Amino acid sequence: MQRPTVTHFFDEPTNTFSYVVQDPGSHSCAILDSVLDFDYAAGRTDVRSADQIIAFIRDRGLEVAWILETHVHADHLSAAPYLHEQLGGRTGIGANIVEVQEIFGKAFNAGTEFARDGSQFDALFREGDTFTIGGLQGKVMHTPGHTPACLTYVIGDAAFVGDTLFMPDYGTARCDFPGGDARALYHSIQKVLSLPAQTRLFLCHDYKAPGRDSFQHETSVAEQRYANIHVHDGISEDAFVKMRTERDATLGMPRLIIPSVQINMRAGELPPAEDNGVVYLKVPLNKF
């Protein structure tokens, strides 16, 4: 089985892991789940995190084939447009982005100028689609539940699961955002856990469960099946749905959901500037 070289980058303010996935036999690579820094209080963006990835890629003479998103993130802004401008590469996300765009296009009253057809991305992936990173073969798994458009990218012995799973001591993704579905998440997780036991699973987030001192970004199918506190082997679908639904009812909204979704549903582009040349984000009151 192919074994890609995987390098992680951690943004602690949003607990987000981004990845550079490299074909060890060439200079080709992909970037997954990038972060655009955002100072919410000041309404100011920055590219420090993206610049770390750019420096890493340029220092090693790598060529970017893909800039991929596992889903429309609700907890951080994507740096995909900036990375694309600096490094090239095609942008990709799940084809069900159109559902997310429809839901949140209405929620933010984005108007007719906001296309809800996924055309902001270069590729819209469906279950079973394939792609290449040099000599590496990638395969797409549609893993909805957290959002309707969530994907898991399987590249050799590595799978990038987005928010579907966390470290075994922390559990699984919430399903209470618009379009989320706990029952769908259970089935998606079973698909992921049907991969070979030694498959490396790379996570989009870690929140350092109580009793653990360090952030962690990698686990395995075997570890998840044995020890995931929400969905280890033997947990029934109904028990999982009950747990997930009750747990979600206690959770507050992510701190950056309002800016993140407005930007990420546009593939990381900012909303159009208004007639004074300034870009504004909307805050829908009493909506979420």
Mean pLDDT, consecutive 10-residue segments, the chain of 288 residues? 96 97 97 97 96 98 98 96 98 96 93 92 97 97 96 98 97 94 98 98 95 95 98 97 97 92 96 94 88
For residues 125 and 155, is the Cβ–Cβ distance under 8 A?
Answer: no
What span, in angstroms and rounded, lies between the C-alpha atoms of 148 and 262?
Answer: 16
In the numeric block, the tokens 């655009």 are attached to: 36
Beta carbons within 10 angstroms of residue 74's beta carbon = 22
Query: What pTM was estimated for this model as a whole?
Result: 0.96
Give pLDDT, residue 111. Answer: 85
What are the distances in angstroms from CA 115 to CA 34, 100, 105, 119, 156?
23, 12, 9, 7, 34
HEC sequence for 80-142: HHHHHHHHCCEEEEECCHHHHHHHHHHHCCCCCCCCCCCCCCCEEECCCCEEEECCEEEEEEE
Judged by DSSP in three states, 228 sits in coil
| Percent of the chain residues past pLDDT 70, beyond the cut | 100
In this structure, what are the phi and psi dihedrals at residue 80, rounded to the nearest 5 degrees? Answer: -55, -45
CA distances from 42 to 11, 38, 64 (A): 19, 9, 32
